C-alpha cells in the first residue's frame, strides 16, 4: 500500500463556528477520522503544520510547506495538503516553483463547507485528493477539487460558494476522479528527482491599470518593491496618453533595476504585446518581461521565486521566462 502524508494547514475544511464567524479549529487527525474509507487507499499519516484561514497564508507558509515535504520526501509516496480555498491557487503555484520535477504527487485540496457540515464537499475532496496522491500516474503539484485534478500553475478560484470552485485556466484538467477511480486526461512521464528551493522574495506588487492611470505610483513602488506585475488592457496594451507619462514612469522604474512583468487583466488566453501599436511601443521602450499565458497566481509566485534566486535583472528574466510545470504554454 502507498504511504501518504496528510499535512493539514487550516481552511474551511477544518473550520468551526466561533463568535466571529468560521475559523479553523479541526486538526489533521480529526479530518482523517471523518474519512474512514481512506484506510482502503493507503497508509496515511496525519500532521498539522498550522491551522489558518488561507487569507493569512503567504510566502513564509509556502516555504514551511515545501521544507516540511522536503524533510519527509523519502518516507512517503505522496503528499496531500488540506488548505483554505481563498489562496489555494497561490499556494499551488508557489509550491510548483519551490518543488520542481517532483516524481511524487503533492496534492492540495480543501472545501467550500466544513467537514462537519451535513452537505459538505470536504469528505469527497479529501478522499479524491488521497486517491490522486496514491495514483501511479500522478506526479508534481496539483489541486484536486470537485472531482478534478488541476496542474498547480493553472488553478484559479472562480467561485466563492459553489462546489466547483476551481478551474484549470487555458489548459485541460489532468484527470477526473469519479467515485473511487482516477481517470487520466493527460499523462506525462515522471521526472527523475525533485529540486527543492528554499527562498522567496515577497517584494512583489500587482497593479491593475485603469483608464487614465498616470503612473506616478511607480516612483513610490520602486522604493519598496523589486518587482511589479502590470495588468494592462486586452492583449496587454499600455496607453501613451497625450504626453507619454505612464510610459516614462515605467521607464524610470525599470532603469532603477526593478523588474516589470506585463500581463493582461483579461482572465483567459494571455497577453501578446506584439499585436497592437500600444503594446509594441511599450515593449520597445521598456526592459519588461511579458508573461504571455501565465496565470496571475503563477506570475506573482514565480517572480517571488526568481527574485530570490538572482540579484541582477537579466538573470531574474532568464529564470522567469523558463517554462515550469506548464505555466507558459
Q: Which residue from 41, 63, 86, 254 is in contact with ligand ASP, where contact means CB under 6 A? A: 86
Is 57 or 286 the residue whose CB approaches ligand ASP more closely? 57
Q: Are the beta carbons of 221 and 83 closer than 8 angstroms? A: no
Told to judge if 109 belongs to the known catalytic residues of this protein, a careful annotator would answer: no
If we measure between CA atoms, which residue out of 232, 270, 275 comes closest to residue 250? 232
Residue 227 touching ligand ASP (CB under 6 A): no
Cell numbers placing 10: 487550516
Q: Which residue from 42, 44, 59, 84 is in contact with ligand ASP, where contact means CB under 6 A? A: 84
Give the H/E segment covering residue 156: strand 155-157
Is 110 or 239 the residue whose CB approaches ligand ASP more closely? 110
Q: Which residues pair with 105 in a beta bridge?
A: 140
Q: Are the beta carbons of 143 and 109 closer than 8 angstroms? A: yes
Residue 82 touching ligand ASP (CB under 6 A): no
Task: Give min distance, CB of 83 to ligand ASP, in A.
Answer: 7
Residue 146 touching ligand ASP (CB under 6 A): no
Cell numbers placing 99: 518543488
Separation between Cα atoms, residue 255 and residue 246, nearest integer Å: 14
Is 104 or 124 the residue whose CB approaches ligand ASP more closely? 124
Q: Which residue from 7, 35, 38, 54 is in contact with ligand ASP, where contact means CB under 6 A? A: 54
CA angle 295, 101, 124 (to 5 degrees): 65
Separation between Cα atoms, residue 140 and residue 133, nearest integer Å: 10
Cell numbers placing 46: 496525519
Span of 80-88, 118-126, 200-208, 269-277 interacting with ligand ASP by CB under 6 A: 80-88
Residue 297 touching ligand ASP (CB under 6 A): no
Q: Which residue from 102, 112, 213, 271 is in contact with ligand ASP, where contact means CB under 6 A? A: 112
Q: Which residue from 4, 35, 49, 53 is in contact with ligand ASP, where contact means CB under 6 A? A: 53
Task: Give min distance, CB of 84 to ligand ASP, in A.
Answer: 2
Span of 65-73, 79-87, 142-150, 206-214 interacting with ligand ASP by CB under 6 A: 79-87
Span of 78-86, 134-142, 213-221, 268-276 interacting with ligand ASP by CB under 6 A: 78-86
Residue 142 touching ligand ASP (CB under 6 A): no
Q: Which residue from 5, 7, 8, 11 is in contact with ligand ASP, where contact means CB under 6 A? A: 11
Q: Are the beta carbons of 52 and 23 closer than 8 angstroms? A: no
DSSP string, 207-275: EE--TT---THHHHHHHH-SEEEEEEBTTTB---TTT-HHHHHHHHHHHTT-EEEEEESSSSS---TTS
Separation between Cα atoms, residue 104 and residue 154, nearest integer Å: 19
Is 35 or 291 the residue whose CB approaches ligand ASP more closely? 35
Catalytic residues: 12
> Interface residues with ligand ASP (CB under 6 A)?
10-12, 53-55, 84-86, 110, 112
Amino acid at each position: 500500500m502507498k504511504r501518504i502524508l496528510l499535512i493539514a494547514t487550516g481552511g474551511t475544511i477544518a473550520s468551526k463556528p466561533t463568535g466571529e464567524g468560521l475559523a479553523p479549529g479541526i486538526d489533521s487527525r480529526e479530518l482523517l477520522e471523518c474519512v474512514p474509507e481512506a484506510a482502503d487507499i493507503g497508509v496515511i499519516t496525519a500532521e498539522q503544520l498550522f491551522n489558518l484561514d488561507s487569507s493569512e497564508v503567504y510566502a513564509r507558509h509556502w516555504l514551511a510547506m515545501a521544507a516540511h515535504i522536503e524533510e519527509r520526501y523519502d518516507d512517503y509516496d505522496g503528499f496531500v495538503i488540506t488548505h483554505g480555498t481563498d489562496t489555494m491557487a497561490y499556494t499551488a503555484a508557489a509550491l510548483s516553483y519551490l518543488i520542481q520535477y517532483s516524481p511524487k504527487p503533492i496534492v492540495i485540496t480543501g472545501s467550500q463547507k466544513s467537514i462537519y457540515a451535513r452537505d459538505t464537499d470536504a469528505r469527497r475532496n479529501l478522499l479524491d485528493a488521497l486517491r490522486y496522491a496514491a495514483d501511479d500516474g500522478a506526479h508534481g503539484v496539483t489541486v484536486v477539487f470537485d472531482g478534478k485534478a488541476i496542474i498547480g500553475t493553472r488553478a484559479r478560484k472562480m467561485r466563492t460558494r459553489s462546489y466547483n470552485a476551481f478551474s484549470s485556466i487555458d489548459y485541460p484538467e489532468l484527470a477526473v476522479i469519479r467515485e473511487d477511480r482516477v481517470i487520466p486526461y493527460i499523462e506525462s512521464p515522471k521526472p527523475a528527482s525533485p529540486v527543492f528551493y528554499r527562498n522567496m522574495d515577497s517584494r512583489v506588487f500587482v497593479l491593475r491599470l485603469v483608464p487614465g492611470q498616470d503612473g506616478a505610483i511607480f516612483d513610490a513602488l520602486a522604493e519598496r518593491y523589486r518587482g511589479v506585475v502590470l495588468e494592462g488592457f486586452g492583449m496587454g496594451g499600455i496607453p501613451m496618453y497625450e504626453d507619454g507619462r505612464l510610459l516614462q514612469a515605467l521607464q524610470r522604474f525599470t532603469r532603477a533595476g526593478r523588474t516589470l512583468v506585463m500581463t493582461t487583466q483579461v482572465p483567459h488566453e494571455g497577453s501578446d504585446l506584439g499585436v497592437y501599436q500600444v503594446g509594441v511601443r511599450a515593449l520597445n521602450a521598456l526592459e519588461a518581461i511579458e508573461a504571455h499565458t501565465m496565470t496571475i497566481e503563477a506570475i506573482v509566485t514565480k517572480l517571488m521565486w526568481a527574485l530570490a534566486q538572482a540579484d541582477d535583472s537579466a538573470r531574474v528574466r532568464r529564470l522567469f521566462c523558463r517554462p515550469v510545470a506548464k505555466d507558459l504554454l
